[in-house]
């Protein structure tokens, strides 16, 4: 089931992917919009989904090149005796996952994925990577056996469309409150990236488009591993100096991982200076859900669990298995330490040992 309390958190790993459609000519119908996020995902994605829907709905209504109606796939559930889709379509507010923020009236909630996607030229996926299989099954997509495969790759290969990726330091409730923030769109086809920039940008949601799409997407995944390490340090009350070391060393491992596993060999270090890189990393390490969970793990082990381990983030396991497959575990000690603490029963204090003996200090 779904947790009761919404977590107005950061974009999850590999979230969201944007399906780009080429702009239509003036004599063709305006592109229709489908807005997709599944009911199996955690509430953070629901709140982020609704926050982005506010932007898209407002811009689609104001800009002539886009169709006015935005269809948003919503997991159907009952809130105070009413269907959530009915509440959204009548009261224009996601009262459960983003209360207090009105949605534009042209955002229409639909309970079926197929209905949201049908006829749409532009699809915006707000899907945490660990739940992509359920979504892919419903849309005819499956994940291959290859080691490293990005969500955008799966969508691109199975649906035969271009995919751009949006990542950044974007906390959902702050986006909804229209507090200033930046974000990054990575696109292999610049025209499509600029199309999504037009659809999504506002005076307080500023977008940079880069052609390093894979790196943008990897940043969104890898920063969560680093945030878990930062959370462990918070749980041990290590202080800000230690957390700064985690962020710096974690960023270096993110860059090294991206360069090693880039499919086309083009990774720009400048991409890590965009919002998708260092900005998102800092925000996640200081306020993100993964950091808070890791801090709680350290405290709960001492107070409640008698040393038993809670399961860590799926991203750390996926990355560790890839590194082990390639014989590169020792080159990524911070990523490895997070995995081993979360999944192999290593003590949380292993994070400090990792920092002390990190190859950067040798």
Answer yes or no: is 261 a known binding residue: no
Of 71, 223, 243, 346, the active-site residue reads 223
Q: Are 296 and 228 in contact (CB under 8 A)?
A: no
Answer yes or no: is 324 a known binding residue: no
Answer yes or no: is 237 a known binding residue: no
Q: Are 297 and 249 in contact (CB under 8 A)?
A: no
Q: Give the number of other Cβ atoms within 10 Å of residue 159's Cβ.
A: 15
CA 52 from centroid of its chain's CA atoms: 13
For CA atoms 330, 332, 337, 338, the dihedral sign is: negative
Answer yes or no: is 46 a known binding residue: no
- Alpha-carbon dihedral angle through residues 58, 61, 66, 68, given to the nearest 10 degrees: 110
Q: Are 165 and 185 in contact (CB under 8 A)?
A: yes
Answer yes or no: is 289 a known binding residue: yes
Answer yes or no: is 131 a known binding residue: yes
Cross-strand pairs, 210: 186
The verdict on whether 326 is a catalytic residue reads no
Annotated binding residues for NAD(+), written as ranges, equal: 75, 131, 172, 289, 309, 311
Q: Which residues are catalytic?
A: 223
């Amino acid at each position: 089931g779904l947790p009761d309390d919404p977590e107005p958190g950061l974009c999850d790993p590999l979230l969201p992917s944007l399906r780009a459609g080429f702009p239509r000519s003036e004599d063709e119908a305006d592109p229709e919009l489908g807005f997709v996020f599944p009911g199996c995902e955690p509430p953070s994605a629901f709140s982020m989904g609704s926050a982005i829907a506010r932007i898209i709905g407002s811009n689609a209504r104001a800009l002539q090149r886009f169709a006015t109606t935005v269809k948003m796939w919503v997991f159907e559930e009952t809130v105070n005796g009413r269907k959530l889709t009915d509440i959204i379509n009548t009261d224009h507010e996601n009262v459960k996952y983003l209360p207090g923020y009105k949605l534009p009236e042209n955002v229409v909630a639909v309970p079926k994925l197929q209905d949201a996607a049908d006829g749409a030229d532009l699809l915006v996926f707000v899907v945490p990577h660990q739940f992509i299989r359920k979504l892919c099954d419903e849309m005819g997509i499956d994940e291959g056996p290859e080691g490293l495969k990005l969500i955008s790759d799966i969508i691109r290969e199975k649906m035969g469309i271009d995919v751009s990726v949006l990542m950044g330091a974007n906390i959902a409730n702050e986006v909804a409150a229209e507090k200033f923030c930046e974000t990054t769109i990575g696109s292999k086809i610049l025209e499509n990236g600029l199309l999504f920039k037009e659809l999504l940008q506002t005076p307080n949601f500023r977008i940079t488009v880069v052609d390093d799409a894979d790196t943008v997407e990897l940043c969104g995944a890898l920063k969560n591993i680093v945030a878990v390490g930062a959370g462990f340090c918070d749980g041990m009350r290590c202080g800000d100096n230690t957390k700064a070391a985690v962020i710096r060393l974690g960023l270096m491992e993110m860059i090294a991982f991206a360069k090693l596993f880039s499919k086309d060999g083009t990774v720009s270090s400048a991409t890590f200076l965009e919002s998708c890189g260092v900005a998102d990393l800092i925000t996640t390490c200081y306020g993100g859900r993964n950091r808070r969970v890791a801090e709680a793990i350290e405290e709960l082990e001492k107070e409640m669990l008698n040393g038993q381990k809670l399961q860590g983030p799926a991203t750390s396991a996926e990355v560790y298995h890839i590194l082990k497959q390639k014989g590169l575990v020792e080159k990524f000690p911070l990523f490895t330490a997070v995995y081993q603490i979360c999944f192999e029963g290593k003590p949380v204090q292993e994070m400090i040992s990792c920092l002390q003996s990190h190859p950067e200090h040798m």
